């Protein structure tokens, strides 16, 4: 018999030891037990013990909520769970909004404010409005509900979460900060807790909330217009949005039937409709709305279907939130360009000193949102064509017609600014990665920049300028440019910029230069901030005016943040 252990036995022994080590390791490690789900009901017969049990229930509920990412049950999710927990921890989880089977007056004020949330462009459903109403009804009118510590604790937590969420939404808004956001502060946990301390001292919900809102006259005007808008409609309820152009997917057709049902044109959104039946229904809708009767979905019909009070409210809500991305105080003097309105304004000491129609970028060549300062302007400017325009628009025309450049008053120059003969160039060899020249347009009345150009530093190479196609200002849709902003009242803007420098620029100096077709660079005046923004509605003459969502920005934001909202 051979001494020692065979190879097979040796491997069995190693495996046995390893398994035992793993087992020991497992026994020694304590598994983390998830918090127990809070009770749905906790009836307390002794009134003096109710607050103690409410405290216990809140502590257990918050442990569960924090472990489940804010979710308490299928219908309740806290949006500010960490801040809510921090507040109650500091107060030993004692009730804040209630005492001895009674809701405190401060809770009444908060619930009433939530009920009017739509007047601030907010959605009451974001602040647990219906659930809070039900809880308050049960705890005040139902005998068992009055004794239910679990119900009182849920009401407490929801009120506190609603308070913090509303503070955040009124001050910061619901839109994410972007590249042109100028707000510097944020709602930290510390600042939120300080707000609650302020509420406890002042006992004024509405006053505190109003102090958090943007300090802009246009914001206040829009909010006033919103209140008037809400009073003018019978009801504010969600409607199904129909995208355009249509497609033949099942989801699209189901949404269309749902929208037609909401309009009262179908008995049920689940009715089967063949092509003929659908055509009859759409024809009826078009007839009732005074639209051209085609029986087919087209732009006017879809716009009409989507032009509901619900969609308008969401656009107002988005615009109110855009004000929250601006600084708390605007400069004393600034230029404001609103893309959807096709308008430019000069604002000085909160007064609109001048307004002009403008032309902005087409949807495919959008005018960018930006903040800068107008530093100078040039009479009879020369236009250097951006490479993007050269290769997307000009190159095909140059290849098709060599005389195109001369007809457009365009010249090709090299790095030394020497003008080249375009006929001597091998145009077919050029592409966006290989074009060592510039194309410029000579100054003059037929220059695309017109006779005046306003410069401000920006990474997009856009500017304000006159145009040689001034007839386009009469069009209703003025999203027509390559991205720059063409301004109709360019002389009024120039006059405003040099208004304090009468020694260098006596009256009519600028006009004389233009009459004589002289090129001058005008600088040395105080730089004026310019804001190019996208605000698709505003209050005019006491009522809200809606502008076309030319770049689809509102619809995109609605889809991301507002389409699942409830009242």
Q: How far apart, in whole angstroms, are the C-alpha atoms of residue 534 and residue 557? A: 12
Cβ neighbours of residue 183 under 8 Å, at least 6 residues apart? 172, 177, 324, 325, 326, 327, 328
CB atoms within 10 A of CB 544: 20
161, 167 contact by CB (below 8 A): no
Report CA torsion sign: 249, 253, 256, 262.
negative
**248: CB partners within 8 A, 6+ apart:** none
Residue written as token pair 């219906």? 130
The residue whose two tokens read 């959104």 is 269
CA dist 81 → 144, 151, 196, 248 (Å): 28, 18, 15, 43
- In 186-333, which residue ranges form alpha helices assigned H by DSSP? 189-202, 205-212, 217-232, 250-262, 275-288, 299-306, 309-323
Q: Tokens 């019978």 belong to which residue? A: 234
Cα dihedral 125/127/133/134 (nearest 10) = 70
Helix ranges (H only) for 68-104 are 81-90
Cβ partners under 8 Å of residue 464, min gap 6:
337, 344, 358, 374, 453, 454, 456, 484, 485, 486, 487, 490, 493, 530
Cα–Cα distance between 118 and 109 in angstroms, integer?
Answer: 16
User: Cα angle at 35 between 33 and 37, to 5 degrees?
Assistant: 135
SS (H, E, C) 292-351: CCCCCCCHHHHHHHHCCHHHHHHHHHHHHHHHCCCCCCCCCEEEEEECCCCEEEEEECCE
Using a 10 angstrom Cβ sphere, with 0-12 exposed, 13-18 middle and 19 or more buried, the burial of residue 504 is exposed
Q: Are 169 and 106 in contact (CB under 8 A)?
A: no
d(CA 437, CA 426): 12
Rounded distance, CA 310 to CA 313, Å? 5
Catalytic entry in 167, 171, 482, 484:
484
Is 484 tagged catalytic?
yes
Residue 465 is a catalytic residue: yes
Question: DSSP string of 31-51?
Answer: PPPPPPPPPS--B-SSGGGHH
- Tally of CA atoms within 13 A in the half-sphere of 527 that contains its CB: 11
Catalytic residue, candidates 171, 465, 482, 537:
465
Q: What residues are labeled active site?
A: 465, 484
């Amino acid at each position: 018999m051979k001494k020692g252990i065979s190879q097979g036995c040796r491997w069995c022994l190693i495996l046995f030891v390893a398994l035992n080590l793993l087992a020991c390791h497992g026994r020694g490690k304590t598994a983390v037990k998830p918090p127990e789900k809070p009770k749905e009901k906790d009836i307390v017969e002794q009134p003096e013990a109710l607050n103690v049990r409410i405290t216990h229930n809140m502590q257990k509920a918050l442990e569960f909520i924090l472990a489940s990412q804010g979710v308490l049950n299928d219908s309740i999710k806290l949006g500010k769970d960490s801040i809510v927990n921090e507040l109650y921890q500091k107060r030993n989880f004692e009730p804040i909004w209630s005492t001895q089977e009674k809701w405190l007056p401060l809770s009444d004020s908060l619930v009433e404010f939530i009920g009017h949330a739509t007047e601030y462009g907010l959605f009451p459903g974001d602040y647990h409005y219906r659930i809070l109403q039900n809880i308050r009804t049960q705890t005040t009118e139902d005998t068992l509900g009055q004794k239910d510590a679990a119900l009182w604790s849920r009401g407490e937590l929801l009120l506190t979460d609603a308070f913090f969420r509303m503070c955040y939404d009124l001050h910061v808004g619901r839109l994410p900060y972007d590249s042109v956001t100028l707000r510097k502060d944020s709602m930290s946990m510390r600042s939120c807790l300080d707000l609650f301390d302020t509420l406890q001292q002042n006992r004024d919900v509405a006053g505190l909330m109003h102090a958090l809102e943007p300090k802009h006259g246009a914001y206040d005007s829009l909010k006033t217009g919103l209140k008037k808008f809400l009073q003018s409609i019978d009801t504010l309820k969600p409607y199904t949005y129909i995208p355009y152009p249509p497609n033949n997917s099942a989801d699209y057709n189901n949404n269309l039937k749902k929208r037609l049902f909401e309009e009262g044109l179908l008995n049920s959104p689940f009715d089967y409709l063949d092509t003929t039946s659908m055509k009859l229904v759409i024809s009826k809708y078009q007839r009732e709305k005074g639209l051209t009767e085609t029986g087919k979905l087209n732009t006017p019909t879809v716009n009409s279907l989507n032009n509901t009070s619900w969609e308008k409210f969401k656009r107002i809500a988005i615009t109110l939130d855009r004000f929250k991305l601006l600084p708390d105080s605007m400069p004393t003097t600034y230029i404001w360009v609103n893309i959807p309105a096709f308008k430019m304004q000069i604002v000085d000491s909160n007064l609109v000193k001048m307004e002009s129609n403008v032309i902005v970028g087409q949807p495919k060549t959008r005018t960018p949102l930006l903040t800068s300062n107008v530093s100078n302007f040039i009479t009879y400017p020369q236009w250097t064509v951006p490479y993007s325009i050269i290769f997307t628009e000009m190159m095909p025309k140059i290849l098709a017609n060599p005389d195109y450049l001369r007809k457009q008053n365009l010249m090709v120059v090299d790095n030394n600014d020497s003008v080249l003969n375009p006929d001597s160039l091998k145009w077919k060899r050029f592409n966006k990665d290989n074009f060592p020249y510039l194309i410029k347009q000579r100054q003059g009345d037929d220059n695309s920049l017109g006779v005046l150009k306003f410069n401000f530093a920006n990474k997009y190479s856009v500017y304000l300028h006159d145009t040689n196609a001034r007839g386009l200002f009469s069009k209703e849709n003025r999203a027509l440019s390559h991205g720059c902003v063409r301004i109709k009242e360019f002389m009024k803007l120039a006059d405003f910029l040099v208004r304090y420098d009468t020694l260098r620029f006596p009256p009519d100096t600028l006009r004389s230069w233009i009459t004589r077709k002289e090129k001058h660079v005008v600088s040395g005046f105080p730089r004026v901030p310019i804001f190019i923004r996208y605000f698709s509605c505003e209050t005019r003459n006491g009522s809200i005016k809606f502008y076309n969502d030319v770049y689809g920005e509102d619809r995109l934001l609605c889809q991301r943040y507002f389409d699942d909202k409830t009242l």
